[in-house]
Amino acid sequence: MKNEEKIIWQDSLSSRERSFLRPISVAIVCVVFIGLFLFLGIMDSRRSDRTLTGFMENRGLTTISVVRKIAEENLKNLIQASQRENAPAFTPLKKETFAPENWLTSALAVIGQDVDEKWQANQINNEYLQAVAARESLWMIAVMDKTGKIVFQGRPSQSAEGGKNPGSADPPFSSGANLISLLNQQNINYVALQRKDGSGTVVIALEKDALRYWGMRVAVEKAMEKLGEGRELVYLVIMDREGRVLGQTGNFPASWKKIDLAFKDVQSGKQTVETRKIVLDDRPILDITTGFKISERAEGVARIGLNWESAEKVLSENRRNMIVPLVFTVIVALLAMWLLYHDQNRHMAGIIEMERRLEKAERLSSLGQLAAGVAHEIRNPLNAISMASQRLKREFMPADPEKAAEFQNMAGVIRDEIRRLNGIIEEFLTFSKSRRLEMREYPITEVLRKMTDLIREEAESRGIELKTEWSNEPVIIPMDVDKLQQALFNLVKNAMESISGEGSITISLRNEGRNSKVVRISDTGCGMTAEEVEKIFNPEYTTKQKGLGLGLSLAHEIVRGHGGEIRVLSREKVGTTFEVVLPSEKKKDNPHNIRV
């Protein structure tokens, strides 16, 4: 079939009837669903973050608690070891109790060794010793030669009694005996360390506050040594209330050793725990700052850094696991919206089609009522005119042959016009009749045979060859025999009227699938344009100069009432083919199988 041919499916909808929902409404619904899923995903991610942060925070606080308990025990042993036997609170000491005191002595001995090395290198003076005493929170540090004379001494710069500066060129002590006597009188603790070569002594003196600081420092450092280093522990530092480091382990950045905002907030009591995520050497760290107490007394602040890499991997994996179902859910939501859109449009198309059919039915009903009225009003006077014309022709024929011929001609014109007017009325009445189809099983081949027998004589008189192509075996389908025969007769009649001169009409029957039969009526007439094919089933449209042209509309309605359809293939000046598709089985609840 060439491009000029066109297939028309009369039940199809125009493109303007297929889209009813505004795309923006569907887009808004999709955005709402996607936003809801994203919100739930973000909330789940944050909840996981909080859970892991809480878990790591508990581990960090547990580590600090272990250090606190060990340090508290070390400090208790140190205090017991420092008790004097004649003290009223003295208790017998165990061997293990002396260990912390040895730790303290060893820690102070390290300072003495540093001073001794500087002394040997002639790099020592009063200012140096003053700086060491201030840095290490000592009451005094002094060096004596082997005769007991104080060579150098230093104390932290402060407003001493009498405004004297112990670090001046005039030292307050020149004899080691005087210094030791003063320390004993003021109950100031001290440690005297002899040089390796026996050429002098280094004396380190500590007041009560400094002794407590050093006791805390030693207790904390030894507690950290017992703690060891874990895989997740990056650093741990404990500072007293003045910001002095009591102990530290791990890689603690020097730039953080100063008191910062977290330190101040925790020490002031504004917060009990401050947790932050930071980056150290390109590694994510969970930094936890909390108060450090010994025997329920606030001694300072503990700051611990835990490796956040493993937790970050868990969160990243959780985010990935969240994104995959999220994307899947979004796709499902979009697909659901598309299906909803498509299904809604389908239902709306059905509603509009029903409205169109209802409108058409109302129009046809009005036309039927008009036809009935016209028939009622015109048929009776038309019969009277017909009888009067017959009587005039029979009883009032003029005697004059010339007038008789003219009278005969006028009577023939009247008779023909009455016959034409009667045909118009009959066509109106046929189209306006409405009754429920009486469906029953009947051979379609028998209907075709009766129809061809009825129209064959007229076709031959016009020089039209009528061809039939179907088997002799009966093909039974559900139908209203009279109505279907009328529809097929109208189609064949239309085919005959499209042929001017000689031509042929071919009527065939074939199967289409398992549940349909197709009656094909082809002619070699004038054919139709695509615009004409679009309109041929409309009752308002006709190309006939005589009659109303309702035959095709009536045939179309009858076929639709049987649950079938009519397809049209036409090519101008070549011919037209009507394909009547009929179901082989009766369809349930057919909306067209009510009235035609």
Whole-angstrom Cα distance, residue 18 to residue 289? 66
**Residue 543 near residue 553 (C-beta atoms within 8 A):** no
CATH class of 435-596: alpha beta
pLDDT tens for 103-132 read 777 778 888 888 888 888 888 888 888 888
164 φ, ψ to 5°?
-80, 150
pLDDT tens for 89-98 read 545 545 444 4
Structure tokens at 452: 């061809």
User: Could you confirm whether domain 118-162+171-212 is CATH 3.40.50?
Assistant: no
Q: Is 582 left (phi over 0), alpha (psi -120 to 50) or beta?
A: beta
Model pLDDT, residue 555? 87
**Residue 182 near residue 150 (C-beta atoms within 8 A):** no
Looking at residue 162, the DSSP 8-state letter turns out to be G
Q: Is the pLDDT of residue 79 over 80?
A: no
155 φ, ψ to 5°?
-130, 155
Model pLDDT, residue 101? 64
**pLDDT tier at 467 (50, 70, 90 boundaries)?**
very high
3 φ, ψ to 5°?
-65, -25
Average pLDDT score over residue span 424-450: 77
Whole-angstrom Cα distance, residue 328 to residue 330? 5
Cβ neighbours for 395, distance < 8 A, ≥ 6 positions apart:
none
Q: Quick check: helix, strand or coil at residue 369?
A: helix
Q: Is the pLDDT of residue 581 over 90?
A: yes
Q: Is the pLDDT of residue 167 over 60?
A: no
pLDDT tens for 526-545 read 988 888 888 888 766 666 65
Q: Is 576 left (phi over 0), alpha (psi -120 to 50) or beta?
A: beta
Higher local confidence (pLDDT), 463 or 593: 463
Q: Which of 55-64, 273-282, 357-366, 502-511 has the highest mean pLDDT?
A: 502-511
Lowest mean pLDDT among 207-216, 310-319, 465-474, 535-544: 535-544
Q: Is the pLDDT of residue 337 over 90?
A: no
E strands along 242-393, which residues? 245-250, 273-280, 283-294, 297-307
Lowest mean pLDDT among 116-120, 320-324, 426-430, 463-467: 426-430
Whole-angstrom Cα distance, residue 153 to residue 140? 7
**Residue 479 near residue 447 (C-beta atoms within 8 A):** yes
Structure tokens at 547: 């009659």
Terminal Cα distance for the chain, rounded: 34
Whole-angstrom Cα distance, residue 433 to residue 422? 17
Q: Which of 2-16, 215-229, 319-333, 501-515 has the highest mean pLDDT?
A: 501-515
The overall longest dimension of the chain from CA atoms, in Å, is 189
- From the number of C-beta atoms within 10 Å of its C-beta (0-12, 13-18, 19+), residue 502 rates as exposed
Whole-angstrom Cα distance, residue 229 to residue 357? 86
Average pLDDT score over residue span 72-76: 79
Q: Is the pLDDT of residue 13 over 70?
A: no
**Residue 38 near residue 326 (C-beta atoms within 8 A):** yes
Of 422, 555, 450, nearest to 495 by C-alpha is 555
Task: Report the amino acid identity of residue 501.
Answer: G
Domain ranges of the chain: 118-162+171-212, 435-596
Question: Which residues pair with residue 235 across a beta bridge?
Answer: 250, 305
Nearest-5° Cα angle at 197, 193 to 199: 70
